[in-house]
Amino acid sequence: MIKGSNKYEKLGESLQGIYTLETLADRLKVDKTKVIYIIHRLRKLGFVKTSYSTGKRRLYSISLRNKQRGVSYTEKINDASISPALKVTSFNPYYVHGRTPTYEEALIYAIKQRDVRYIIASLALFRKISDWSHLYKLAKKERLIREVVALYEIARKVVRKVKKMPRRFINQARKTKTNNFHYIVKHITSDDFKDTEKKWKVYIPLNFSDLEEYRR
């Protein structure tokens, strides 16, 4: 290996590809402890992005492009996850350059995907929300105020340590109510959260059985 401060830069450039711990250890001819340390160093330099295959197995994408493309909303969503099983994988992630996206932005992005896996993962983001005013402005812009409040109510039921939503946010959501129901995910409704659906005129695409990972 190359000595000096550019040692891991050079290594990262030479390891373009997707690996498991085992395949990377085999490539470098080192043990598992050493390869975990190498991944840690390469991640700090921006070379490594982590995803999950079937069976919750970690995959490490090592690429120079990872250093250049910023942080994706999917990564921000997964950063808030409380379980590997709740992480999401995107084949076409949206990257933010020059700054780190906020949890408030990630929540709105997750809802806009109109995908059950993203909606399940989004509930953990409520634990990270600190700027409710910012979240309200984003939700208002995307016409998602009722969807945000409805999912917040579900998060309060299944996710630990969710902070209390300001009364003003809830009052504003009430003002947007109509007699028309909105789908979060098209044609999917809940058997377990009918009270929340009726209260906010929003169909919840989840049941308690979908949220077992949060309840463990």
Q: Print the domain residue range for 10.
A: 1-68
- Give the end of a domain, one of 68, 89, 110: 68
> pLDDT tens digit string along 109-130?
999 999 999 999 999 999 999 9
pLDDT value, residue 4: 46
Q: What is the mean pLDDT of the chain?
A: 90
169, 151 contact by CB (below 8 A)? no
Q: Position of tokens 């921006």?
A: 46
**Judgement on whether residues 152 and 76 belong to the same structural domain of the protein:** yes
Q: Is the dihedral of CA 128, 76, 147, 83 positive or negative?
A: negative
How many domains does the chain contain in total? 2
- Give the end of a domain, one of 68, 84, 114: 68
Structure tokens at 45: 């330099």
Give the closest residue to 30 by CA, choosing from 38, 19, 18: 38
122, 110 contact by CB (below 8 A)? yes
pTM score, whole prediction: 0.70
Distance between CA 120 and CA 151 in Å, rounded? 10
- Tell me if residue 210 falls in helix, strand or coil: helix
DSSP character at residue 95: E
pLDDT value, residue 6: 76
Phi, psi of 203 (to 5 degrees): -80, 125
DSSP character at residue 165: P
> pLDDT tens digit string along 66-94?
776 678 889 899 999 888 888 898 877 77
Helix locations, 87-158, DSSP H: 103-112, 116-122, 132-141, 145-158
- Give the end of a domain, one of 25, 40, 68: 68
| Angular region, 201: left φ>0, alpha ψ -120 to 50, beta rest | left
**Judgement on whether residues 63 and 81 belong to the same structural domain of the protein:** no
CATH at residue 23: 1.10.10.10
